[in-house]
Structure 1
């Protein structure tokens, strides 16, 4: 079938011309909010301006200010040009469709300091080819996305510190109002993300401002770090102003700081990889909302990877040192932990597994229990597949973020994996992507997801998890009460012992 090479859609702000890539239409660089520049820095996003004529939508927009070097090394590729004018999204839609299809909105990771919606691993073409509309987006990063200072108090009729989360909410409102023109079903929106993107999904599940804007959620490697208290965020804002020689700074002085001056700042002036609690977006800490089972009532898929501790070196965490600290300060606690990790030898390996489970694996257990208490559905997974040629490199399993090219089925299309993957790797990648699309399509209609292994949700009394990859090899296997004793302990202590200190 021949498809128009220049698909044109009519949005509420005007017409947009995209392009056709095989059997998928795509539109890049769509404004979902007005540029947050000048006096609009550190304010809630505003609707985008309308335009006359047909706007070209064939190139990605600028990304939020960040380290290009770090993003290329750790964040998924070259983020391109930087600008505060970065609030744009991208859409992929199947060219051939007869009825509205499910929508999948992706929030990228990167510790809230790196990343962009247009990076190669997030290309939505192959997912859209499965019969869904895929949306990726940029949001404000670093201090541009999360900031508090007394000089900014009272500028709006509400307290705002989590500007990045408000950007994501504005993008979801744009999806609600416009996605039907792209063939998407605005009543079947799945919000999914990884790392900081997963933390964003968790935050929006807890935010009163996001209620009703999405109908399903996927949390990939969400972490248990506590939110930053508002008082602490205000103190950090004043310390940052003092760093720039601005004691008793005014709002105008703060907004005159060049945007490129923020991202190189190191601890303690940098931004924590967790939102701020105490503003209109998060009046209550995300973890507290889940502990009380007051999250939005939508089906959730949540999981993490077998070597999440791989990311901790980036934050300077000494894995063996964490065990040595326990030995000095909490010998009883260390003895209990050793009982939960029989056969694990050495401080380095024990530290790797304990830090992985406290910071990442336990989040899935917390969400599962919250969903069970609220009468909701929860699918849990554990990702442990490594491309066959890379087993010697990934000794301890799948690193933080390694599941992303499988989820998007882009393994054979991105660097460097396209040079070493084989047919079995690609087949496994396709099966993983199918599960994600099946969740977007099926979750809530029943409590079983179709796939190579029928994947049941964790209803009340059922604690089951799907192992996606088994000991780095291909396979899908159900596991009952996965790490249950560890999870029970870490849920009790994580609010007091999970930090980046």
Structure 2
């Protein structure tokens, strides 16, 4: 297959590709701004180089910060140095710091600006063109951030490519439009959501389900040859839903605030991404059940080969993801094809304690074949099935153990064991890790299910007995803990606390313990801020952290209803984003508010607590951990 092996480059124009300036061999962009603002920008660039660099710095930080709309606040002394810049930009940064009244060792931040509700309808400052290895893409440049949507990072996994490892995309001629449309999402069941949860979980392209879904989105403050940290976000959705195009994952604010490149991706999910057919078809369909993980690896390869043209550093890539995305992050730590493609990892709400053993993966595939009325000999018919039939069949049965049908598969080759156990044997050596959960993860599921209306004490004991021998002892212990905190102690609340530990908190702690045991640094956090939705019934639930990572918590009335949108929430978002940014830049998530944070160990259990206020605590919620450990939970 022909491929363009040339190095990716970047230019910018309203309609044409400009030649690079002769004095530099690095990819550059000349931004063409329309109207009066364009003439002013041109005059500044030509007449006042230093002022131009100052304006550049202001643009990175966000114009609203300096216009007084949100108020300038001093976060405090930075735990890590300001990122390296060219000499002129360094002078501009120093001048800006002095102008703000702080010495160079101080970093000034505003509370994160809130995305305009009509952000897709704002006047575009310019169009930016970047040349990747596979062709040119044209994105939109808005408020100092360049945005590129729906860039293909792999060939469409259709036809003979279905249920196979991804292949590089075919090169294209001309310039591919990437500034507006979100593209497609992986085939999945409709996710209508309700109330504010529509904003959190629904995609911006819900009607565009397609097998041809292997696309990514990029936000960058500059296509200027700089080497910015790269953050690749892996969406959640239980390995059966989700997309990189969810509005909550808009990378504009995070990119601008941290001077980082943000990438969100799609990957195959459900039976199209995590179904092992190799065994039942005798190898004629060679899917291991890890095709979705291989898609994530292919996105990392695309970043390695192309992100420098977007102002990113392929030598400093952080993978982070939430829920199934966190499980993916942990799996990639132990996944052989991913080695060397990323340098830091942040699993959000998940610690890598689950993967399908091969024998279970085979049982899932046998149940799938029964559902579609085919056998392992019907290879041609399997490849001819329409994607909706495949998706529905994958969701149309449950395994006797009650666990999800689809997740990463321990195939013995690429993935040799449970990720959290593999870490104990060195799988994550050399990778910086920042892991954690919300305090009340499982309330999102228990409080929104039929279980919440019908669960009584006998039902609670029956549920807990499925996984814990001394169910009554664990129930009594958590009821005492919840009562001591002034929290609800009804059966649903107790079940939520137990499941939070079993499924989320304890695996995250075990991950950090495993890394620490090998003498490598890992950092732990817990998020405690609560959702105001429905009178606060969800408390600090699953997914509540996402809007604060991206700064999209106050995007709309619905998002504010779920995340909250006051000054306290804005400040929390600032603290969390700065911690994530510092971690991506240096491998250390310390900030002024988290100045006492040290790598996790079993003696101090130092933990960043993202609440009101953000702070560091040693061994927070220790009684929970001891109770879970006593009952071998997690």
Shared fold by TM > 0.5?
yes
2:555 matched to which residue of 1? 413
What displacement does 1:308 show?
Answer: 0.8
Aligned positions of 1:181-200 closer than 5 A: 181-200=309-328
Candidates 126, 132, 138, aligned match of 2:253 = 126
The 1:231–1:177 alpha-carbon spacing in structure 2 relative to 1, beyond 3 Å, is same
- Does residue 65 in structure 1 map to residue 187 in structure 2? yes
1:453 matched to which residue of 2? 594
What displacement does 1:335 show?
Answer: 2.4
1:213 matched to which residue of 2? 341
Please state whether the residue corresponding to 1:188 is helix, strand or coil: strand
* 225-234 or 291-300: bigger deviation: 291-300
2:162 matched to which residue of 1? 41
CA RMSD of aligned residues (A): 2.9
Please state whether the residue corresponding to 1:412 is helix, strand or coil: coil
1:480 matched to which residue of 2? 618
Q: Is the 8 A contact 1:195 1:221 kept in 2?
A: yes
2:544 matched to which residue of 1? 402
- Does residue 364 in structure 1 map to residue 508 in structure 2? yes
What displacement does 1:272 show?
Answer: 2.6
Q: Is the 8 A contact 1:104 1:191 kept in 2?
A: yes
* 202-211 or 164-173: bigger deviation: 202-211
2:76 matched to which residue of 1? none
For 1:240 and 1:33, how far apart are their aligned partners in 2?
Answer: 26
2:201 matched to which residue of 1? 75
Q: Is the 8 A contact 1:25 1:95 kept in 2?
A: yes
1:267 matched to which residue of 2? 397
Candidates 431, 443, 453, aligned match of 1:298 = 431
The 1:368–1:223 alpha-carbon spacing in structure 2 relative to 1, beyond 3 Å, is closer
Q: Is the 8 A contact 2:234 2:244 kept in 1?
A: yes
1:177 matched to which residue of 2? 305
1:282 matched to which residue of 2? 415
Please state whether the residue corresponding to 2:405 is helix, strand or coil: coil
2:366 matched to which residue of 1? 238
The 1:22–1:291 alpha-carbon spacing in structure 2 relative to 1, beyond 3 Å, is same
* 39-48 or 280-289: bigger deviation: 280-289
The 1:488–1:292 alpha-carbon spacing in structure 2 relative to 1, beyond 3 Å, is farther
Deviation readout 1:137-171 (Å, 9 max, x if unpaired): 11001100111223544348x76221100000000
For 1:171 and 1:375, how far apart are their aligned partners in 2?
Answer: 30
- Does residue 433 in structure 1 map to residue 577 in structure 2? yes
Candidates 247, 267, 274, aligned match of 1:146 = 274
What displacement does 1:29 show?
Answer: 1.0
2:237 matched to which residue of 1? 110
Candidates 376, 382, 397, aligned match of 2:526 = 382
For 1:41 and 1:434, how far apart are their aligned partners in 2?
Answer: 40
The 1:317–1:289 alpha-carbon spacing in structure 2 relative to 1, beyond 3 Å, is farther
For 2:132 and 2:214, how far apart are their aligned partners in 1?
Answer: 16
For 2:133 and 2:157, how far apart are their aligned partners in 1?
Answer: 20
Candidates 608, 619, 626, aligned match of 1:466 = 608
What displacement does 1:352 show?
Answer: 1.9
Structure 1 residue runs of 4+, over 6 Å off? 314-319, 327-331
Please state whether the residue corresponding to 2:191 is helix, strand or coil: helix
The 1:333–1:172 alpha-carbon spacing in structure 2 relative to 1, beyond 3 Å, is same
Deviation readout 1:428-479 (Å, 9 max, x if unpaired): 2222212111211121xxx56114232523254431111111xxxx211222
* 426-435 or 208-217: bigger deviation: 426-435
Candidates 469, 473, 478, aligned match of 1:335 = 473
Unaligned runs of at least 5 residues, structure 2: 1-28, 33-125, 483-488
For 2:158 and 2:129, how far apart are their aligned partners in 1?
Answer: 29
What displacement does 1:332 show?
Answer: 4.5
Q: Between Structure 1 and Structure 2, whose CA radius of gyration is higher?
A: 2
For 1:101 and 1:403, how far apart are their aligned partners in 2?
Answer: 24
For 2:293 and 2:630, how far apart are their aligned partners in 1?
Answer: 28
What displacement does 1:280 show?
Answer: 3.7
Count of equivalent residues: 486
The 1:303–1:316 alpha-carbon spacing in structure 2 relative to 1, beyond 3 Å, is farther
For 1:353 and 1:380, how far apart are their aligned partners in 2?
Answer: 19
The 1:476–1:417 alpha-carbon spacing in structure 2 relative to 1, beyond 3 Å, is same
The 1:161–1:492 alpha-carbon spacing in structure 2 relative to 1, beyond 3 Å, is farther
Q: Is the 8 A contact 2:192 2:202 kept in 1?
A: no
Deviation readout 1:2-40 (Å, 9 max, x if unpaired): 944111111111111111111000111111000000111
For 1:199 and 1:89, how far apart are their aligned partners in 2?
Answer: 19
* 6-15 or 242-251: bigger deviation: 242-251
Please state whether the residue corresponding to 2:375 is helix, strand or coil: coil
What displacement does 1:380 show?
Answer: 1.0
For 1:97 and 1:430, how far apart are their aligned partners in 2?
Answer: 26
For 1:280 and 1:327, how far apart are their aligned partners in 2?
Answer: 35
Q: Is the 8 A contact 2:580 2:589 kept in 1?
A: no
Candidates 237, 243, 264, aligned match of 1:136 = 264
Q: Is the 8 A contact 1:151 1:250 kept in 2?
A: no
For 1:335 and 1:118, how far apart are their aligned partners in 2?
Answer: 44
Q: Is the 8 A contact 1:300 1:377 kept in 2?
A: yes
* 359-368 or 131-140: bigger deviation: 359-368
Q: Is the 8 A contact 1:146 1:271 kept in 2?
A: no
- Does residue 347 in structure 1 map to residue 347 in structure 2? no
TM-score (norm 2): 0.71
